[in-house]
Chains A and B, each alone.
Chain A
Amino acid sequence: MKDSLEMEQPILTDQPLSWWKKSLNIRTACLYLLPSFFLFAVFLFYPMAKTVYLSFFLTDQQGIANVFVGLENYQYLLQSESFRKSIKATILFVLYTVPTGVMIALALALLTNEKVKGIGIFRTMYASTMGVSVAASSVVWLFLFHPSIGFFNKIITAIGGESVSWLLDPSWALVSISVTTIWMNIGFSFLILLGGLQNIDEQLYESAKIDGASYLYKLRRITIPMLSPTLFFVLTVSLINAFQTFGQVDILTQGGPSESTNVIVYSIYREAFVNYQFGTASAQSVFLFLCILIVTIMQFKFGEKKVHYQ
């Protein structure tokens, strides 16, 4: 019905007109969607299709699919201990980094949402990690974690503790990488959440104040619900980033020790770029795709319902 108000549509003949007019929306939509679609087709769908195709083959060293093996690559993955370790590492990594990271960022944002003198400096300091690239921060943390001359172990031994093999002990390595990742993401999450907090209508708090509501009550009843779209956004970003973490693993541990930090994306990289096993690498990619798909569907189904849009 709105379409009839569109003024500038070329009017041809009577009969095709209705069809032409009916399809107006879809044609306009296509136009707006075309750039995205075109790029997706070339740089995502096509390679993904190729990946799925390759996952049914054995490839030779030139990467050419030579032998059709059906589901063998998948079967291999399911019984491969390394792959199980990869899944475990990925899940743990997501669990370690996403909730903690968002919580810390939220705490910092709440802290700096207080209007006191000099708060700008603190905001800048918290946001600063956003300006440090993955490669740069990984290098710095590599040094902080250094087993013998790193800052952390220096401090620990100075106060009489026993030095920790941050990146060398399988039970610590993933934690160390998670700490690094949380640090790297703090800046961005913090800034977005702070922006969200400042968007909340002051009047809501004023009226709560009159009612004599406690800080926690205000937090639970006003801040969190009003912040929910922003929180949802930050959570989604963190989740995607966590699943696709690569740079810090490559620089800090190369997937070791004992494959404890061999997250799936890194495992795919190794399989494809170092071992030239495109078949199994592709099978892993398909698997990862399915995993993220499920997680995202769940997130949208359960998460978005809780989000309040103004």
Chain B
Amino acid sequence: MRKSIMFVTMLVLLLVVAACSDDANSENAEAKQNNSSGGATEGQQESTEEDAGPVEATFWHAMSGAGQESLEAIVDNFNDSQDDYTIVPEFQGSYEEALTKFRTVAGTNDAPAIIQTFEVGTKYMIDSGAIEPVQTFIDEEGYDTSILEENILNYYTVDDQLYSMPFNSSTPVMLYNKDAFEEVGLDPDNPPQTFAEIKDAAEQLTIEGERYGFSILNYGWFFEELVATQGGLYVNNDNGRSADATEATFHGKEGLRIFEWIDDMNQAGTYGNFGSNWDDIRAAFQSEQTAMYLDSSAGVANTIETAPFDVGVAFIPHAEEAERHGVIIGGASLWMAKGINEDKQQAAWEFMKFLQTPESQAKWHVDTGYFAINPAAYKEEIVKQRWEQYPQLSVTVDQLQATKPSAATQGALISVFPESRQQVVTSLENLLQGTDPQEALDRAAKETNRVIEQQARANQ
């Protein structure tokens, strides 16, 4: 008797749960329709995929905040522009979290048609075997990639194949407080350009207890850029581009110069440490606690807009001993999944092409500050207006276009990049706490070598 009651209770419980799930599923479908309400005729989505109805392709992205807003608007534009395809954008958390999910669905039918992955995930994506190089579609259709920014394509081109479609792309630049420059008698239109010049300027700009001269975000990316702009390699085998990298090289002379430079300023009390959070260092700059800092080109417009003083933008500095090589592209690109319906791949490809139109790129550039992959976008009216308003923005594009293509500026290709980056950050933090520059750097290199080696062993 009581047992049967128990079972009934359990059963009811399970049924309730099951009912909930049905709700969830139908809601799910509803949500999808709502999402794409801009595009395609409603109600057709559920019908057979072959005839009628647009092909629905999901797009996993990691854009939050303003990026998400702009991205969704562009997707809506695409869905409105034609009747054959519907792109459904879905936020998946940070790049790491999105990748974790992708890893488990890769190669199955659950995989999204498009996934956005950060630049350091490039090698991982290529090796995963779960993606279709966009080169396949480029060749098939004879799509002309020469309309796109060469320095951006270089990063994602491996063995002469363009693997993914560049999307949100940025580079580092140096931002400085022009008012502060004038205040201490520096020329606001002629910012310091080498490590030594920065060091001198930082000394002049520092007001003890109030303002630091110079700061860098504790983020591996800036270190990579400063190595590259001196022509230095991050790992061996031409940055892992001629063959799989087996060893870190960033602790060579180029890397050491950076660490010693930061250490000198830190010891002298002219270097401000504002952590690894993008917003913190910007707030420090805006509240005049640091007079110069390195930022992403994507954050420039917003900083100029909100700062209560005149903001200058300059190329990132380089060591006196080395000539300027330029910058590596950062940000993320869009990858197409393999093993999914061909229609969906086609939808993904159409969307990628749509993204590269000058109109889309112009909107994207103005909304977010990321580069336009298609330089024609810079001639669009909204971009021109924007640049008129903030003439400093053109510096970011100049710096990118002045970059000399080489293995150094193409960027390193290693699958353990996220971890290596983390190790560099830890070393940088140790350096700021007083560890010897060479020692700090060697530690990061040693850890990087260890994971590279482990990866090689696991992949045998």
Q: Within the assembled complex, what's the spacing in Å between the Cα atoms of A34 and B55?
A: 45
Q: How far is the CB of A39 from chain B (nearest CB, A)?
A: 12
B-contacting 9-mer, from A165-173, A232-240, A286-294: A165-173
The reply to whether B283 and A149 form a contact with Cβ atoms under 8 Å apart is yes
Identify the closest chain A residue to B2 (Cβ). A8
Can you list, as one digit per residue, whether each of A241-283 has a CB less than 8 Å from chain B (1) or not (0)?
Answer: 0000000000000101111000000000010011111000000
The reply to whether B433 and A162 form a contact with Cβ atoms under 8 Å apart is no
The reply to whether B430 and A168 form a contact with Cβ atoms under 8 Å apart is no
The reply to whether A170 and B433 form a contact with Cβ atoms under 8 Å apart is yes
The reply to whether B6 and A256 form a contact with Cβ atoms under 8 Å apart is no
Given A8-B1, A275-B418, are A256 and B458 neighbors across the interface (CB < 8 Å)? no
Q: How far is the CB of B116 from chain A (nearest CB, A)?
A: 17
List, in ascending order, chain A residues with CB within 8 A of B109's CB. Answer: none
Q: Report which of B10, B106, B459 forms a contact with A66, defined as CB distance below 8 A.
A: B459
The reply to whether A256 and B429 form a contact with Cβ atoms under 8 Å apart is yes
Given A67-B458, A148-B283, are A274 and B218 neighbors across the interface (CB < 8 Å)? no
Q: Within the assembled complex, what's the spacing in Å between the Cα atoms of A233 and B276?
A: 38
List, in ascending order, chain A residues with CB within 8 A of B458's CB. Answer: 58-61, 66-67
The reply to whether B430 and A258 form a contact with Cβ atoms under 8 Å apart is yes
List, in ascending order, chain B residues with CB within 8 A of A32's CB. Answer: 6
B284 within 8 A of A: yes
B96 within 8 A of A: yes
A-contacting 9-mer, from B160-168, B169-177, B449-457: B449-457
List, in ascending order, chain A residues with CB within 8 A of B419's CB. Answer: 274-275, 277
Q: Within the assembled complex, what's the spacing in Å between the Cα atoms of A35 and B10?
A: 8
Given A31-B3, A146-B283, are A61 and B274 neighbors across the interface (CB < 8 Å)? no
Identify the closest chain B residue to A7 (Cβ). B1
Q: How far is the CB of A12 from chain B (nearest CB, A)?
A: 16
The reply to whether A67 and B426 form a contact with Cβ atoms under 8 Å apart is no
The reply to whether A168 and B274 form a contact with Cβ atoms under 8 Å apart is yes
A196 within 8 A of B: no
The reply to whether A257 and B218 form a contact with Cβ atoms under 8 Å apart is yes
The reply to whether B283 and A62 form a contact with Cβ atoms under 8 Å apart is no
Q: Report which of A59, A63, A275 forms a contact with B416, defined as CB distance below 8 A.
A: A275
Q: Within the assembled complex, what's the spacing in Å between the Cα atoms of A8 and B275?
A: 69
Given A168-B275, A273-B100, are A259 and B287 neighbors across the interface (CB < 8 Å)? no
The reply to whether A63 and B274 form a contact with Cβ atoms under 8 Å apart is no
Q: Report which of B277, B415, B460 forms a contact with A67, defined as CB distance below 8 A.
A: B460
The reply to whether A254 and B276 form a contact with Cβ atoms under 8 Å apart is yes
12 A-B pairs besides A273-B96, A275-B418, A277-B419 with CB distance below 8 A are A8-B1, A58-B458, A61-B128, A82-B426, A147-B280, A147-B283, A165-B275, A168-B275, A257-B432, A259-B429, A274-B96, A277-B451
A-B contacts, 14 of them at CB < 8 A, read A31-B3, A60-B458, A61-B459, A63-B104, A66-B460, A67-B457, A82-B426, A148-B274, A148-B284, A148-B287, A149-B287, A257-B276, A257-B433, A274-B418
- Residue positions of B touching A, CB distance < 8 A: 1-3, 6, 10, 96-97, 100, 103-104, 106, 124, 127-128, 209, 218, 273-277, 280, 283-284, 287, 289, 415-416, 418-419, 422, 425-426, 429-430, 432-433, 451, 454-455, 457-460
Which 3 pairs from chain A and chain B are nearest by CB? A275-B419, A58-B458, A258-B429
